[in-house]
């Protein structure tokens, strides 16, 4: 089953600098998600974790009302609508980052056209912008089920195909990419115990635990060029990631 629908907001992170044009160590660029859906909780959680770890996070927001959500968690909000901005504008916003994370999504809950412009086209636009800006690392929140999306014309099928198309573009890029496919998301507090696999699994997973997994994957070079599935499980997060990354 796929992750719950997400909307869009965005963020970038860089180590200790407020300006997106300054190249600094441990920079991160997190792109995409919105303050009124499931992904925003992941992106905001990731912003908080990265900021606490010493990274400077920049959130690419499409709505100025979302600025406080980012700043309250230690990030710097930057207006940049992934749907309307050009690749060059996005590249300027994330220049100097050492990683980009796509956490946006219409989630299949809106129109089919919007699902495609956000979940597929937005992810690919951020990917190309990252390459143009010289950002070497790219992580994307995908969804369980994107490995074999259905052919239907319902919102969920379109959503999974959009995710699959975006994932294919990521895998064919020259960046050091990681694709994370969570199971259905819950609002439960993070348990810190998950199952991480290179093949599809079953079960739900708290959004907090997905954010924590992303924070660790961003700082681990072994995660490059991997597709990983995360669901709730019995193993501590660090142990689950170590097992799959060292295999």
- Specify the residue for token string 């689950």: 240
The alpha helices in 201-236, defined as continuous H runs, are 207-218
Cα 173 from chain centroid (whole Å): 16
Q: Annotated catalytic, 159?
A: yes
The catalytic position among 9, 138, 159, 177 is 159
| Contact partners, residue 242, CB within 8 Å, separation at least 6 | none
CB atoms within 10 A of CB 220: 13
Report the alpha-carbon distance of residue 11 to residue 59 in Å, rounded: 3
Q: What is the distance between the alpha carbons of residues 61 and 101, in angstroms, rounded to a whole number?
A: 14
For 226, half-sphere exposure in the C-beta direction (CA atoms, 13 angstrom radius) is 21
Which positions are catalytic?
159
């Amino acid at each position: 089953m796929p992750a719950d629908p997400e909307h869009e907001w965005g963020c970038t992170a860089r180590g200790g600098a407020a300006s997106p044009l300054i190249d600094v160590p441990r920079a991160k660029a997190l792109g995409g998600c919105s303050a009124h859906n499931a992904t925003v909780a992941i992106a905001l959680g990731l912003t908080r974790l990265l900021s606490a770890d010493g990274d400077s996070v920049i959130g690419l927001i499409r709505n100025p009302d979302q600025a406080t959500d980012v700043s309250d968690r230690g990030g710097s909000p930057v207006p940049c609508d992934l749907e309307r901005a050009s690749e060059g504008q996005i590249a300027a916003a994330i220049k100097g980052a050492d990683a980009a994370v796509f956490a946006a999504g219409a989630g299949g809950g809106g129109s089919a056209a919007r699902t495609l412009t956000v979940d597929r086209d937005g992810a690919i636009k951020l990917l190309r912008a990252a390459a143009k800006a010289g950002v070497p690392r790219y992580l994307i929140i995908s969804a369980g089920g994107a490995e074999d999306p259905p052919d239907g014309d319902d919102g969920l099928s379109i959503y999974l195909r959009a995710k699959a198309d975006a994932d294919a573009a990521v895998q064919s890029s020259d960046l050091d990419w990681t694709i994370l496919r969570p199971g259905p998301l819950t609002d439960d507090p993070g348990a810190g115990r998950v199952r991480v696999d290179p093949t599809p699994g079953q079960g739900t997973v708290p959004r907090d635990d997905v954010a924590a997994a992303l924070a660790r994957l961003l700082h681990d070079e072994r995660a490059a060029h991997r597709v990983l599935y995360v669901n709730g499980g019995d193993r501590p997060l660090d142990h689950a990631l170590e097992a799959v990354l060292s295999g």
